A and B are shown apart, each in its own frame.
Chain A
């Protein structure tokens, strides 16, 4: 495989810079809250700056090649090395994680959830960032696994310490689910290692040699990986941790969870499971597609049944990730491009929706849809932003959500050779129904919250006396990049497709065409 090794320090710096920030924070004396926030802000700005530098030096004409590749000995006894690099598939996600972390840090400057403790909060956020970025650049399975797991503990604590009423239950549920998946995934990685001759854990090497493993063995190894990644996505029926985790997590946690963490699973499918085990992927694809459409419909119906705004958005994630997985399950470049786009779009849109949910909670002191109304008259700007995001989320053409959803459905019309066309066309019809349901639950949500007259919450004196203030400066600062991104990607989807496509083509070359 072709690799470009210029500037190979940038990825390591971009990934581990947040850890440096954590170390600085740890060394600071207690009760320096402002200084802690300052360090967190500076660190995340610097990290994004390195990320932008990476993007500027990325050779977009060779997006199919691994770039900035660095390789050092790491655990030579078990033949695992520190091998990192980015191509067109991972670069956008790598940058997305940096952008989201910076925006979350900005938002947290004056929205620190109870019980405060900024030092611990920002430290965990930054460790989380290292884990996410590292997962997207790792080109060695063991390295990937370590970064993949690194995000668990910070998220566990973000939910468990700063979350809502049921936070302790939600955090442990989140942890056990993900850990179960990754334990089986690790076993699968090891089996893969030995079945390819126990030579190397490097992903490029395994892509070259994985295809020759016997079919039934491939199917079992794929099963292990499938559980690991599907829990993270989450796919039906492994999704039940998600509504709890999202609902109970603090706003910042929900945003990161939706925007980046869920993508670790889908990214794992595209980067690892499909190219290394092509035969098994073809066998598994119809089942993945089936679970994906079940997820689409189930998620949508779940949304219609919710009375809590945040929980509704959480269920909508199940549906949206269903579209992403449906695209992946076609095993065509069209479908996987759509899935990749869907990942980024979902990151921007749902991340934004969770930000809004956080701000609604802060102002109305509730997320019960029935207790909120007339947002457009009380806070017109917030109401319009919310409307914009709902439209984007339901897949309105011209906004980013459309380019993830519509091509994914379209791609199922013509799945890869060897897949049952009839089955996929049935999926197509069901998924199309899913978009109708998506419009239904999002418009209904918007109608109940933004239209009508403001509800009088007089039983809650505190909130009745308090003036509802519209979007604040810091909120504008944290949100506008996402809003601009949704609009720009909606109008010019080729910005992203042109980056993904070469890399997706290379990834799919193992399927022989």
Chain B
């Protein structure tokens, strides 16, 4: 009945909490500035745009810190449809810092290519803005808007090298499958709205139990919505776009897609699971269990065969996604809910640092070798020992070997599985354990190239690393090591990340 009155009701302007929206506003301001300046400044001064982009992202960190320190822990706007809670603050921080590192990775790459620089920074910032919005969205509509906001610029970024057919293929594939996923998800959302009569997640939670009347429709709706995000996080069997897109897109864009865009998908998934479907756990738990087991296994096995380093990292990132999903498969069980949430956030923080580092080294090495083959890393240690050691550290972290960041991320995921004390949890933990061993097969293969193989063409001139790239490598390697030796640093933030209004058992 309420809905019929909407048209006759008087429109009241919503109160906007400008402090709460400040990070988004800063980024929005920055991207407008980049867009306008690009039209007016001289071609030789366009490097300014990358500086402006990076400062925009750093400036947006300031309100994040003030918000974190402010008395109000949860700020909700627009009738609880847009919420700034600790979870969203932590994830916004991750997106901004990851975005900053991506800007550092991109700047020399963008300067040296003959492409459109202004648009690059504009698209990157737009996509990041979408991610910031995603962390706070607590309504089907705002989630969808945020998702499109972050995806559409990303489609264009993937096809950014427009004279390269592979890059075009990357963009088109990503676009087609992305749109298909959106359509599936929208269909699921429409079913949800039909059953629950609301788009607000907390309202949906109360009625979505996947039992009683409309049980079948509810199950379908939950599964469709999750499938939509399974595309985004490239979970098997919805992963087929990822390898081609990652290989064809410019390397910094691939870094961005495999870290930030993927994390955004997980953010939405987590928010939906904890605030919209907490009572339908019998539907999504088995579904995510299967997705997780398939994702890590298939990703790993396919990664073993790859000869191209970026393709290998693409499959590796698919398989890492399986590890992130792992704790969610028991997130509805008593006692596991909060540790599963912590473990997902922790995994995303550490994975972001490590994977961006991997791309930093790939970018640096490809500047010299002009090749994407794994074998182009041959003998890296003999002529660029620093890069060799860094790559070894990053790969070891991805493989989960102490004392590098990755181990605590995997550990936390295992911990939450076993905390459920259920057969399903134990079984998935064993599958995960076996997979973490298989993964070393390909990570170790790259290490072997770096340390034990000769330089392929005998060219041992040292690699010149631009300043911004060194800074990116410095940030990511320090983070990877610190998180591994003092896991408390990362766990502190992961533990803070509570979703307001979530039902956690």
What A residues does B444 contact at CB under 8 A? 156, 172, 175-176
Q: How far is the CA of A120 from the CA of B491 in the complex (A)?
A: 32
Looking at chain B's contact residues, the main secondary structure is helix
What A residues does B436 contact at CB under 8 A? 179, 183
Interface bits A58-82 vs B (CB < 8 Å: 1, else 0)? 0000000000000001111110000
What B residues does A191 contact at CB under 8 A? 418, 426
Chain A residues 111 to 146 lying within 8 A of chain B, measured CB to CB, are 120, 142, 145-146
Q: Are B403 and A150 in contact (CB under 8 A)?
A: yes
Looking at chain A's contact residues, the main secondary structure is helix
Q: Are B440 and A179 in contact (CB under 8 A)?
A: yes
Q: Are B415 and A120 in contact (CB under 8 A)?
A: no
Q: Are B451 and A161 in contact (CB under 8 A)?
A: yes
Q: Are B421 and A194 in contact (CB under 8 A)?
A: yes
What B residues does A37 contact at CB under 8 A? none
What A residues does B421 contact at CB under 8 A? 194
Q: Are B414 and A160 in contact (CB under 8 A)?
A: no
What B residues does A167 contact at CB under 8 A? 452
A168 at interface by CB-CB < 8 Å? yes
What is the minimal beta-carbon distance from A56 to any residue of chain B, in angstroms?
30
Binds A, one of B153-161, B216-224, B427-435: B427-435
A184 at interface by CB-CB < 8 Å? yes
Chain B residue at smallest Cβ distance from A146: B402
Listed residue (A152, A156, A180, A186) with the most chain B CB atoms within 10 angstroms of its CB: A186
What is the minimal beta-carbon distance from B174 to any residue of chain A, in angstroms?
34
Q: How far is the CA of A186 from the CA of B414 in the complex (A)?
A: 9
Q: Are B402 and A78 in contact (CB under 8 A)?
A: no
Q: Are A172 and B448 in contact (CB under 8 A)?
A: yes
Chain B residue at smallest Cβ distance from A142: B411
What is the minimal beta-carbon distance from A156 to any residue of chain B, in angstroms?
7
B280 at interface by CB-CB < 8 Å? no
Q: Are B401 and A153 in contact (CB under 8 A)?
A: yes
Q: Are B487 and A194 in contact (CB under 8 A)?
A: no
Q: Are A187 and B430 in contact (CB under 8 A)?
A: yes
A153-B396, A179-B437, A191-B418 as given contacts; A186 in contact with B411, CB under 8 Å: yes
A368 at interface by CB-CB < 8 Å? no
Chain A residue at smallest Cβ distance from B491: A77
What is the minimal beta-carbon distance from B433 to any residue of chain A, in angstroms?
4
What B residues does A75 contact at CB under 8 A? 408, 487-488, 491
Chain A residue at smallest Cβ distance from B441: A176
Q: Are A190 and B448 in contact (CB under 8 A)?
A: no
Q: Are B401 and A149 in contact (CB under 8 A)?
A: yes
Q: Are B434 and A76 in contact (CB under 8 A)?
A: no
B492 at interface by CB-CB < 8 Å? yes
Chain B residues 393 to 452 lying within 8 A of chain A, measured CB to CB, are 396, 401-403, 407-408, 411-412, 414-415, 418-419, 421, 426, 429-430, 433-434, 436-437, 440-441, 444, 447-448, 451-452
Q: How far is the CA of A74 from the CA of B419 in the complex (A)?
A: 21
What is the minimal beta-carbon distance from A80 to any residue of chain B, in angstroms?
9
Q: Are A168 and B452 in contact (CB under 8 A)?
A: yes
B381 at interface by CB-CB < 8 Å? yes
Interface bits A443-475 vs B (CB < 8 Å: 1, else 0)? 000000000000000000000000000000000
A77-B495, A186-B411, A190-B414 as given contacts; A176 in contact with B437, CB under 8 Å: yes
Q: Are A78 and B412 in contact (CB under 8 A)?
A: yes
Contact of B407 among A73, A146, A168 (CB under 8 A): A146
What A residues does B385 contact at CB under 8 A? 120
Q: Are A194 and B419 in contact (CB under 8 A)?
A: yes
A298 at interface by CB-CB < 8 Å? no
A157 at interface by CB-CB < 8 Å? yes
A198 at interface by CB-CB < 8 Å? yes
Q: Are A160 and B437 in contact (CB under 8 A)?
A: no
Q: How far is the CA of A175 from the CA of B448 in the complex (A)?
A: 12
Show 8 residue pairs from A and B whose CB-CB distance is below 8 angstroms, ordered by the A residue: A77-B492, A120-B381, A160-B451, A161-B451, A171-B452, A172-B448, A179-B437, A187-B418
6 closest cross-chain pairs (CB), A and B: A183-B433, A146-B402, A190-B418, A77-B491, A149-B402, A180-B437
